[in-house]
């Protein structure tokens, strides 16, 4: 039952009560019913507008998919999610992996995004083990180590 139908039903209930038209309560009920009817009409109009905008957005999305496919050679299913791959990702809401890491506990490959790496740790979705990312250690290993008292030129 739509909101307008429910408002009409309530109006019918009020009419069936045979309220005194001069009573203060009846005036309040009538004012409330008038407001409710106007709100239902507004909501119906907004729903129609949203449906129209959604239809237009679907058409734009299809046009964009065609453009991506024909001009850029991007297949809309290249990530498997069915979303389009325009600037900023496909828009499917899934986190597409930018990096991969192998869990030392279970040996499974885990796809990571840059945001996940910024967290410094995460729980392996396969085994539940906490994985920690320590980039400082990797940076130190790339620097040449000197033995104390020896010059590099010796």
Name the residue ranges covered by the structural domains of the chain: 3-72, 99-142
Q: Are 107 and 101 in contact (CB under 8 A)?
A: no
List CB contacts of 69: < 8 A, sequence separation 6 or more.
Answer: 75, 76
Output the pLDDT for position 84: 44
Write the Ramachandran bin of 131: left for phi over 0, alpha for psi from -120 to 50, otherwise beta.
Answer: beta
Give the pTM: 0.42
What pLDDT is recorded for position 135?
Answer: 67
Is 80 exceeded by the pLDDT of residue 148?
Answer: no
pLDDT at 35: 96
Q: Percent of the chain scored above 90 by pLDDT?
A: 38
With a cut of 80, say whether residue 133 has pLDDT above it.
Answer: no
Q: What's the rounded Cα separation, in Å, for the pair 14 and 5?
A: 14
Check residue 8 and give its pLDDT: 92
Q: What is the pLDDT of residue 122?
A: 85
pLDDT computed for residue 120 by the predictor? 79
Element (H, E) at 122: strand 121-123
**Which helix (H) or strand (E) segment is 8 a member of?**
helix 3-16
The whole-number pLDDT of residue 81 equals: 52
Sign of CA dihedral 32, 37, 43, 45: negative
Rounded-to-integer distance, Cα 68 and Cα 63, Å: 9
Task: Look at residue 60 and give its three-state secondary structure.
Answer: helix
Asked if residue 111 lies in contact with residue 120, where contact means CB atoms within 8 angstroms, the answer is no
Render pLDDT for 59-109 as a digit per residue (tens, 0 to 9): 999 999 888 888 777 665 555 555 444 434 455 555 555 778 888 888 888
Burial group, residue 124, by CB count within 10 angstroms (0-12, 13-18, 19+): middle
| Average predicted confidence (pLDDT) for the chain | 78
pLDDT at residue 119, as a whole number: 80
């Amino acid at each position: 039952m739509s909101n307008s139908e429910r408002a009409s039903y309530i109006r019918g209930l009020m009419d069936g009560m045979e309220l005194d038209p001069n009573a203060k309560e009846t005036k309040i009920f009538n004012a409330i019913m008038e407001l409710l009817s106007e709100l239902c009409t507004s909501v119906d109009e907004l729903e129609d507008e949203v449906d129209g905008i959604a239809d237009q957005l679907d058409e734009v999305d299809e046009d964009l998919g065609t453009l991506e496919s024909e001009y850029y050679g991007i297949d809309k299913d290249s990530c498997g999610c069915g979303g389009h791959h325009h600037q900023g990702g496909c828009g499917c809401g899934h986190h597409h992996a930018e990096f991969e890491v192998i869990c030392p506990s279970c040996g499974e490959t885990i796809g990571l995004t840059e945001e996940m790496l910024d967290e410094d740790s995460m729980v392996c979705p396969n085994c539940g083990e906490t994985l920690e990312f320590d980039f400082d250690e990797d940076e130190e290993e790339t620097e040449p180590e000197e033995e104390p008292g020896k010059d590099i030129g010796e």
